[in-house]
Chains A and B, each alone.
Chain A
Amino acid sequence: MLFRLENLSHQYSDGTLALDNVSLSFAKGERIAILGTNGSGKTTLLHHLNGILKPTAGKVYFEDKPLEYDSKSLLDLRRRVGFIFQDPNDQLFAPTVKQDVAFGPLNLGQPADQVKKLVDETLGLVGMAEYAEKPPHFLSLGQKKRVALAGVLAMQPEVLIMDEPTSNLDPRAASEILHLLLHLNTKYGLTLILATHDVDMVPLFAKKLFILSKGKLVTEGSPKELFSNADLIRDVNLRSPRITHLFEVLKKENNLPVDNQLPLTISEARKEILRLLNLEDAGKDRGEGESHERD
């Protein structure tokens, strides 16, 4: 297992028990989403994964070795585990976009000309190349988020942890970032862990889902399994993806013979509708247009 949390608890100094006996694990190359309402402990959990916070009880294992918290070990860990913060203003400290993206690779001891190349590449990757010389305070929040992402990608981590990566992004930018992340995952095997309460985005992204509520791990499983359990989702004050909800209503209120496995995404919904209309073949004729009909 890449990461394993064992009976992890975290109590902040003011007494708030933000994580309560959480145990979970996941493997290399996975795409994980941590879902929960505001204050459920997502950020606190993520902060344990690269040693920003130390558990008050329990242990964190990275590649089956317990995390150590001396500065040398932390540096080694952080070289491999990148972290993108919820608020990009926390992260962007350098006077220009370029300098900010260069910060991580320079800390890794890479030579200047290589860093320059890396900076250009990663800024291109997140679509911010033309802003390289600008100071961060001239950027919009969504643009800052993309620069923050570039700053971490430039360090070429093996694991990428993101706290609300798509909040404050316009739909198009959110979708582009999502595609970029999926691409990095499939092409380079980058392990992705993100915290979110954007339930519509989760099925597009995650293979595995952990649901937190009030600091406790409520359940884990694939998005399909968890979202088909409507009661559970309601209990933790979340909701299903809109499209799933629509089919749930059609099934319950209109007695439409919808499959028990409710569709979670547009493309799944499309298949289901075609099936219901007995037009299954029609969809195949026109090919699968999944890539441009996501959210």
Chain B
Amino acid sequence: MAHSELYAQIDRYAYINPFAKTSPVTKMLFALSALIISVSSPSPVVPIIVFAAATILLLRLAKIPVHFYLDMLAYPTVMLALSCIIIALFFGTGEPLTQIAFPWFTWTIFKSGIALSVATFLRVEGALSCLFFLVLTTSITDIFITLRRARVPKVLVEMALLIYRYIFVFIEVAEKMNTAQKLRLGHSGWMRRIRSLALLSGNLFIRTLEQGERTLTAMNARGYDGNIRVLEDQPPAKKTALAGIIIFDIVLVLAAYLTLNVGVL
């Protein structure tokens, strides 16, 4: 799947999934609280619970196809795994797990390094599943409106809103220019490919500036006065859902305490 297609597909699910019409407050509260608990949990058990919960919700209730979810997970997981291998091999202190003797030095792999590596891996995967839950079930409009209600500074929210919209415009432009270059054989040979890429990036930068100007003009023409107003018609959060999330969070925190001593090794 092409990158841009993946992004667009994420967006599509956000608008059509069975959770699309539930309160964004509920979904964001669930995702963010679970994310925070997951990354700050000292025990490896909690991130696993979080990952399982978010994944089951996504696959079972939000009806996200398994292969799509795995596709989404694959990119960050590969990167994460590489980083965690580095952590396992080169980090840690204290009790060594094994030592490899080289003529000029001894390379020690520590137990604590392995533990740190596994813990990091699990925490990040737990956090990822929360984020994926959020982006796959909640449309950007809903997220913006909720952030604004939560009094996140206006500049940040409005900038994010515009960036979100124009990311897609630029992916489109970049892909068109890329295709146009290919069709005129701009990619035959390594040097030419580099040159084409440089041209494309330069052009894209200039287009970005121009686009910004034109968009502002167009917004002005419709009475923009420095405030982006949106129609708010999100359903209110259900009390029962909120209560459920709070109970889930309490369970997570308890689990973190109870499993404090569960080691990886």
Which residues of A approach B to under 8 Å, CB–CB?
A: 50, 52, 71, 74-75, 78-79, 82-83, 85, 87, 89-96, 98-99, 102-104, 106-108, 112, 115-116, 119, 133-138, 151-152, 155
- How far is B223's CA from A71's CA once the two chains are assembled, in angstroms? 10
In the assembled complex, 22 residue pairs joining A and B whose CB atoms fall closer than 8 Å, in A order, are: A50-B221, A52-B217, A78-B220, A78-B221, A78-B222, A78-B223, A90-B217, A91-B218, A93-B166, A93-B218, A94-B141, A96-B139, A99-B231, A107-B225, A112-B231, A133-B139, A135-B140, A135-B165, A137-B165, A138-B8, A138-B11, A152-B222
For residue B161, CB closer than 8 A to chain A, the reply is yes
Chain A contacts of B172 at CB under 8 A? 137
Which residues between 145 and 174 of chain B lie within 8 Å of chain A, taking CB atoms?
161-162, 164-166, 168-169, 172
Q: Does B15 contact A (CB under 8 A)?
A: yes
* Any A CB within 8 A of the CB of B251: no
Whether A116 and B218, one on each chain, are in contact in the complex, defined by CB atoms closer than 8 angstroms, is no
Give the distance in Å from the alpha carbon of A107 to the alpha carbon of B229 in the complex: 7
Contact status of A135 and B168, CB under 8 A, knowing A90-B215, A90-B217, A112-B232: yes
With A95-B164, A135-B168 known to touch, is A103 a contact of B217 (CB < 8 Å)? no
A94 lies within 8 A of B165 (CB): yes
From residue A177, how far is it (CB to closest CB) to chain B in Å?
Answer: 19
Chain B residues with CB under 8 A of A115 = 231
**CA distance in complex: A161, B165 (Å):** 25
- B2 is an interface residue with CB less than 8 A from chain A: no
B101-137 CB mask vs A (1 if < 8 Å, else 0) is 0000000000000000000000000000000000000
In the complex the two chains form, what is the Cα distance from A190 to B53 in whole Å? 57
Which residue of A74, A82, A133 has the most chain B CB atoms within 10 A of its CB atom?
Answer: A133
In the complex, which of the residues A79, A106, A151 contacts B229, with contact meaning CB atoms closer than 8 Å? A106
In the bound complex, how far is the Cα of B169 from the Cα of A295, in angstroms?
33
Bound Cα distance A135, B169 (Å): 12
By a CB distance below 8 angstroms, the chain A residues around B229 are 102-103, 106-107
Q: How far is the CB of A262 from chain B (nearest CB, A)?
A: 38
Q: Does B224 contact A (CB under 8 A)?
A: yes
Is the beta-carbon distance between A93 and B215 smaller than 8 angstroms?
yes
Interface residues contributed by chain B, number (CB under 8 Å): 34
- Interfacial chain A residues near B228, Cβ < 8 Å: 103
Contacting pair B222 A107 (CB below 8 A): yes
- Chain B residues, Cβ within 8 Å of A91: 215, 218
Residues of B within 8 A of A155 (CB): 222-223
Complex CA gap A78/B220 in Å reads 8
CB distance from A49 to the nearest CB of B (A): 11
A112 to B230, CA, bound (A): 9
Give Cα A92 to B211, complex, Å. Answer: 12
| In the bound complex, CA of A82 to CA of B214 (Å) | 16
Known A134-B15, A135-B15; judge A93-B231 contact (CB<8 A).
no
Sample of 18 further A-B pairs with CB below 8 A, known A52-B217, A94-B230, A99-B141:
A50-B221, A52-B220, A89-B211, A90-B218, A93-B219, A95-B140, A99-B230, A99-B231, A106-B230, A107-B229, A112-B232, A116-B231, A136-B165, A137-B11, A138-B8, A138-B11, A151-B222, A155-B223
